[in-house]
């Protein structure tokens, strides 16, 4: 048994990993690090953080963008982090309600966007859905949004955060019939 397998998570009292400060295990995509407080080893992963965004579209209004209250500032599609134990579709619906006040019907999966530099704060992987608002008159800024409004696709703000300009270009291709959308998984 190699030292990584022997000292893998979860740490136990009988494992001495004091000489294994940072061992990278390519098979398990993590490294064993030593806790500075208790001296026990644990596996640390450096995977992209899962997020979700939704292109909320109403043909007579446009797409919903929020103005971010936190850095990075600018306009963005509403979205956020997927919580542990939460399905991506559930997170998307929850984030839309929190950031925009809208109940959203997801109409399909637009794509998965995972470029390591898409978010200047950390490497994220975003599952991006298209959706339609069930209550468009209820649009309001919430959570970490300074403002929320519909924007015509032909007049989008220049200062879009993250890779949201690319996502919106892909959405416009969808509307023009130049790309397809995948169905979403139904959730309970």
Share of the chain above pLDDT 90, in %: 67
Q: Please check whether residue 54 is in contact with residue 33, taking contact to mean a CB–CB distance below 8 angstroms.
A: no
Domain locations in the chain? 3-45, 49-175
Paired strand residues for 55 = 130
Is 127's pLDDT higher than 50? yes
What's the CATH superfamily of 49-175? Nucleoside Triphosphate Pyrophosphohydrolase (3.90.79.10)
Task: Give the integer Cα–Cα distance in Å for 35 and 150.
Answer: 48
Is 15's pLDDT higher than 80? no
β-pair type (124-133, 145-151): unpaired
Comparing CA positions, the residue from 86, 60, 53, 32 lying closest to residue 168 is 53
R_g of the chain computed on alpha carbons: 21
Q: Please check whether residue 110 is in contact with residue 35, taking contact to mean a CB–CB distance below 8 angstroms.
A: no
pLDDT in tens, 97-123: 999 999 999 999 999 999 999 999 999
């Amino acid at each position: 048994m190699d030292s990584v397998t022997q000292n893998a998570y979860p740490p136990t009292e009988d494992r001495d990993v004091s000489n294994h400060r940072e061992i990278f295990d390519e098979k398990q995509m993590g490294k064993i690090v030593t806790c500075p407080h208790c001296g026990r080893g644990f596996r640390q992963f450096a995977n992209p953080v899962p997020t979700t965004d939704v292109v909320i579209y109403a043909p007579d209004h446009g797409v919903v963008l929020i103005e971010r209250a936190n850095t990075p500032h600018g306009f963005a599609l509403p979205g956020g982090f997927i919580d542990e134990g939460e399905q991506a579709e559930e997170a998307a619906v929850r984030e839309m309600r929190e950031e925009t006040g809208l109940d959203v019907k997801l109409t399909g999966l637009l794509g998965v966007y995972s470029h390591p530099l898409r978010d200047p704060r950390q490497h994220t992987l975003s599952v991006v859905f298209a959706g339609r608002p069930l209550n468009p008159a209820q649009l309001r800024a919430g959570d970490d949004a300074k403002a929320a409004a519909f924007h015509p696709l032909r007049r989008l703000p220049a200062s879009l955060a993250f890779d949201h300009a690319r996502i919106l270009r892909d959405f416009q291709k969808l509307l023009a019939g130049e790309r397809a959308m995948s169905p979403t998984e139904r959730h309970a």
